[in-house]
Structure 1
Amino acid sequence: MLENRSCESCLVFARSCQEETKWAYMYNGKRPLELADSDGCCRGNKLSKLYDSSNDDNNTDTSSPQDSRDLVLPDSRYQSYGDIKQSDSASGLDSSIIHHHPIGLDETDLNNRSDDDRLSDSVEDSAKEQSEDDDDDNSFSDPPEDEEEEDGCRIHAGNGSSDLDALIEPCGRDNSINCLIRCSRSDYGSIASLNRNFRSLVRSGEIYKYRRQNGVVEHWVYVSCRLLQWEAFDPFRHRWMNLPRMPPNECFTFSDKESLAVGTELLVFGKEVTSQVIYRYSILTNSWTLGTSMNDPRCLFGSASLGEIAILAGGCDSQGNILSSAEMYDSETQKWETLPRMTKPRKMCSGVFMDKKFYVIGGIGGVGKDARVLTCGEEYDLETRKWTEIPNMSPGRSGAAGDAEMPVPAGAPPLVAVVNNELYAADHADMDVKKYDKERKSWLTVGRLPERAVSMNGWGLAFRACGDRLIVIGGPRAFGEGFIELNSWAPSEGPPQWNLLDRKQSGNFVYNCAVMGC
């Protein structure tokens, strides 16, 4: 096992591509050069036939044959954020020229360049320069006689194995993927530009399936502080990336919206003139499309995701009727499945996954004069497909005598999040952080929220789990102070000591926030 360390061979690609030095892949059919240790010795690792065969027709190199040289793989030493262990300085990456795109792909490249022209200009210039320097030394050779063309891809004669399955050929496909899944999502744009095989692995989303299967997860924060505009934040490299602007729709723009990240998608729920609508952002295409409608369209629901699935429960329909129905979304198939109904209808509730079960917490039940705050929660077991009511699960109300005695507040749904299967809540009124005691079914105050994490009755403040940390996103309400702060705390490290991740000029009201782990 690689134990969460990026494979050395992966770093050769990114390093050579960014530093514009020696090649670490094949370009226009040319063979790779040698990279040596500081003492001039080679380690003997070889890398071959990593190239985009679509360029073969344009290859006019007439260099005389010469043995291919060995590639030396550099040492890898990294520091970690969450489950991804990496360091720009150790890997040799120039952080100033890494593509700042939610999967590392440059937005201009995505929109304006064809698949066969994705290699960066810097790599192409480096290739021309290197070719001129080495012509006299016959550094490159034509393909060996034991290789032949088949469907535009080179194969070894007699083995029938095309480079579409090779990736990093000496390592084999499985080991190659083991290397790639441990690279940061920020590097996937550079990796995808190396050749057709890597590009297909990244842009098809296959690489994220392998990451999920191997328990490799990297969490990015998606936040909207302006109407129709979303930004992604990479907590490991402390970088912001602008998402494409959402499609303009006047009714949708000014309606209340809810968001949810599941798999490699960001779902935003809102209203059109006569119905609810879902917009779906994919990190694979860097674009917005209309999402699949729910079986029972709703708003003001509780929701949470676990890998590629998400559950939505409760809420109200377009006529304002409070719902007890629930459904599950599969981001792989983009389909909704109706689940059994909850024991009680509720809206303005929150949802979390904990211990591989889905929980809906708090909310408002009843209609008109019978409306009341629900202090109970409900647990949905995905195996038995049954709901179980849990008393006193709403934070801040655990000592209440009963649901009927609670007045309906004007505040936001409960601000709750789960880290390491422990449930936490942000008490916006007292600026406290609370933890849920599963055995006693009660809430305990464990510390304070960041001082600048102010809100309007809970609105405008984000409280989310981000890997093994809790994050709070908000800004001051003071006039003229247009910025937000991202603070994080790892509960495993003791009582709340908030670490400022970043401060960004922005609107200081957080409309929506979601955390995507993939």
Structure 2
Amino acid sequence: MLVQPYVFVHSGGGSQWTMFDKGFKNFRQLPELPMHDYCFVHSDKETVCAGAQLIVVGRELEGIVVWRYELENNKWFKGPAMITPRVMYGSASRGTDAFFAGGINEVYQAVNIAEKYNADTKTWTVIHEMHKKRKFSSAFFLGGKFYVIGGRDENNENLTCGERYDDETNSWELIPDMLKDMAFTSSHSPPLIAVVDNNLYLMENSVSELRVYDRNTNVWKKLGVVPVEANITLGWGVAFKSIGDRLLVIGPSSSQSYYRRTVVYTCRPSPKVEEQIWEELKDCL
């Protein structure tokens, strides 16, 4: 398991990755992925960490593939493949386990299938399927449970419900209206979410606004504006993550100039404060 938090950034081309420490003061270039597949280079890729491994999922000419970077070996390995290969799923990790739910399979259908990957054994295990088929969703761990929220169903309709998975009972609980107050467009990104100190935060990409979730009332509280313009790309290409006790956001600057540079900001969020104090990390990308 990674004790020190790190940030992995896809830094250009199809096979270039950079690892930063949490203050973005030190970095290390990862070795190139040992492949030259045109499809993989130019298609979307999804990532999650499990223990000391970076998992990258994308499409090669032969289909959906999994690559993993092992920190202790400083080396890339191909596989093992998912039991049901897919993309545009919801994923999150807890220790050496990474959970994957829903997504689009190899024949471009939305699914409710869920799997768990273990970094120690390098194996996949099928877990119970969700109540809803969903793609373009987001996932996280909160209170020891695995959550999947948002996305679109098999008819491409937006889902406002969430689901909570209990690993001990291998069962899902449907949570209605988790995103009932959010604005949706036909092509918005998966929900931009992060968990800090067991609080769930969301960046509402239509207005670049920070919100925190109250599990007791199923209500989102507004916490001020995030200093990036997520609405320009409808949330796509924006990173909104937790790193230690902070929120991290990477995206287009909110400057009104014609050229919008990519900026990096962090804050130590507080659900009790209406406006958060964001600190720009300059000259780190």
The answer to whether residue 205 in structure 2 is matched with residue 428 in structure 1 is yes
Give 1:444's match in structure 2, choosing from 221, 228, 236: 221
The answer to whether residue 18 in structure 2 is matched with residue 238 in structure 1 is no
What amino acid maps onto 2:56 in structure 1?
V
Distance 2:33 2:203 in 1: 30
Distance 2:126 2:59 in 1: 21
Correspondence for 2:181: 398
The answer to whether residue 262 in structure 2 is matched with residue 484 in structure 1 is yes
Which is further off, 336-345 or 236-245? 236-245
The answer to whether residue 166 in structure 2 is matched with residue 388 in structure 1 is no
3-state DSSP class of the match of 2:87? coil
Which is further off, 457-466 or 283-292? 283-292
Pair 361,410 (structure 1): closer, same or farther in 2 beyond 3 Å: same
The offset of 1:502, in angstroms, is 3.4
Higher relative helix content:
1
Give 1:83-94 correspondences, 5 Å limit. none
Correspondence for 2:153: 365
Pair 314,362 (structure 1): closer, same or farther in 2 beyond 3 Å: same
3-state DSSP class of the match of 1:447? strand
3-state DSSP class of the match of 2:76? strand
Distance 2:5 2:62 in 1: 35
For CA contacts below 8 A with separation 6 or more, give which structure has more relative contact order. Answer: 1
Which is further off, 229-238 or 218-227? 229-238
TM-score normalised by L of structure 2: 0.91
Pair 314,286 (structure 1): closer, same or farther in 2 beyond 3 Å: same
Give 1:92-171 correspondences, 5 Å limit. none
Show structure 1 runs of 4+ deviating over 6 A: none
3-state DSSP class of the match of 1:373? coil
CA contact (8 A) 2:210 2:223 kept: yes
Pair 475,359 (structure 1): closer, same or farther in 2 beyond 3 Å: same
Correspondence for 2:161: 376
What amino acid maps onto 2:263 in structure 1?
E
- Identity level (%): 37
Identify unmatched segments of 5+ residues in structure 2.
none
What amino acid maps onto 2:6 in structure 1?
W
The offset of 1:504, in angstroms, is 3.5
Correspondence for 2:12: 226
Give 1:330's match in structure 2, choosing from 115, 118, 123: 118
The answer to whether residue 241 in structure 2 is matched with residue 464 in structure 1 is yes
The offset of 1:476, in angstroms, is 3.6
Larger gyration radius, structure 1 or structure 2: 1
CA RMSD of aligned residues (A): 2.1
Distance 1:316 1:254 in 2: 18
Correspondence for 1:497: 277
Identify unmatched segments of 5+ residues in structure 1.
1-207, 401-406, 506-518
What amino acid maps onto 1:497 in structure 2?
I
TM-score normalised by L of structure 1: 0.51
What amino acid maps onto 1:491 in structure 2?
P
Correspondence for 1:318: 106
The answer to whether residue 171 in structure 2 is matched with residue 414 in structure 1 is no
Pair 260,399 (structure 1): closer, same or farther in 2 beyond 3 Å: closer
Distance 1:399 1:246 in 2: 38
CA contact (8 A) 1:392 1:442 kept: no
